[in-house]
Copies of this chain bind each other. A is one copy, B any other.
Amino acid sequence: VIDPIPTMEWTGRGLRLLDQRRLPESEEYLDCRDVETLADAIRTLAVRGAPAIGLAAAYGAVIAAMTTDPGEGFAAGFGRKLDLLASTRPTAVNLFHCLRLQREVAGESAGGPEVTGLLLRNAHRLFEEDLEASRRMGRLGADLLEPGCRLLTHCNAGGLATSGLGTALAVIYEAADRGILEMVYADETRPLLQGARLTAWELCHAGIPVTVEPDSAAAALLAQGMVDAVFVGADRIAANGDVANKIGTYPLALAAREAGVPFYVVAPTTTLDPDTPSGEGIGIEQRSAGELEVFGRRRIAPAEASFYNPAFDVTPWRLIEAIITEKSLLKGSEEGLFSVDSATD
């Protein structure tokens, strides 16, 4: 059995995060004891991945309560801190979902240890639910695979993106546990290289064979019959089954369809956004030119150029074989998502 990756840990005084900006070169931890530090950690991708962002924000609400004076002004001060957390990343729906739940827990309370305790208990519950959802998604996904399978994934939808096991990588961990996994291909995932830096790191950590390739080489791998299935995560899933996920997911889905290879999205039901009818309604975060202009200290493009750096793209539901949630397999359609198989456990 694979141990969860120590993505985040509540220390009693705040949230301790594995600083993902520094992987794989060094394993450093970041102690967040105020909401500003945590918001900055989310914005700069020290913690990233839709479920992990949501959980970090849920613990952030605890920090918000601990650092806001109890009394009459509590609700307003607490609310402003949650607004700051909500402003960090615009696409991941889990962030808004977890913050909404914590706002409900705090209600009209005037603060103090009791509400802090309730918020903490709720954050722990969300964390445990995410871990259990990962295990269920892993089993449902692995049930679709044959022995000797070679899987391809994009970005990092692993332990580092969640409470510790992942979404797409939960399937990979489960397949490895069952002894049916031959190779994982990991797109390096420009510009921030979450595939090369994070997915490869956590798979090596777990002793799972991984091959890293440029994003642009995945289509050639698929065309050559070197991949049996593609598994990716999701940042938001619209009501019709369109999926927003890391930039590069959409061309990967096109290449998989062309090669006749099934393309699966793995995401907990908290990633579903029934209020957004289709992918067109999903706001796509634009990130800074600096991520494309310099690497480390080296300039890799002329300063006079312009840059286009969206964090996500939208994959239409038609390209997706199934969405694997902790409850069942879903398929998209013009009329909305429907279940194609039920979890038996």
Given contacts A295-B296, A301-B188, A216 and B307 within 8 Å (CB-CB): no
**A25-B299, A188-B190, A292-B196 known; A251-B219 Cβ under 8 A:** yes
Determine the main DSSP class of A at the interface with B: mixed
Residues of chain B within 8 A of A217, CB atoms compared = 247-248, 308-310, 313
B contact residues around A215 at 8 Å (CB): 190, 214-216, 248
Note all chain B residues with C-beta closer than 8 A to A308. Answer: 185, 211-213, 217, 221
Total identical chains:
2
CA distance A56 to B185 in the complex (A): 37
Q: Are B197 and A292 in contact (CB under 8 A)?
A: no
Contact B214–A309 (Cβ < 8 Å): yes
The smallest beta-carbon distance between A63 and chain B, in angstroms, is 32
Within 8 A of B (CB), among A143-168: none
In the complex, which residues of chain B have a beta carbon less than 8 angstroms from the beta carbon of A189?
Answer: 216
In the complex, whether A110 has a CB less than 8 A from a CB of chain B is no
Cross-chain contact A197 with B300 (CB below 8 angstroms): yes
B248 close to A216 (CB less than 8 A): yes
A276–chain B nearest beta-carbon distance, Å: 18
**Which chain B residues border A214 with CB–CB below 8 Å?**
190-191, 215, 247-248, 292, 309
Q: Enumerate chain A interface residues (CB-CB to B < 8 A).
A: 24-25, 185-191, 193, 196-197, 200-201, 203-204, 209-221, 223, 247-248, 250-251, 254-255, 258, 292, 295-302, 304-310, 313-314
Q: Nearest 3 A-B pairs (CB), nearest first?
A: A216-B248, A219-B251, A196-B301
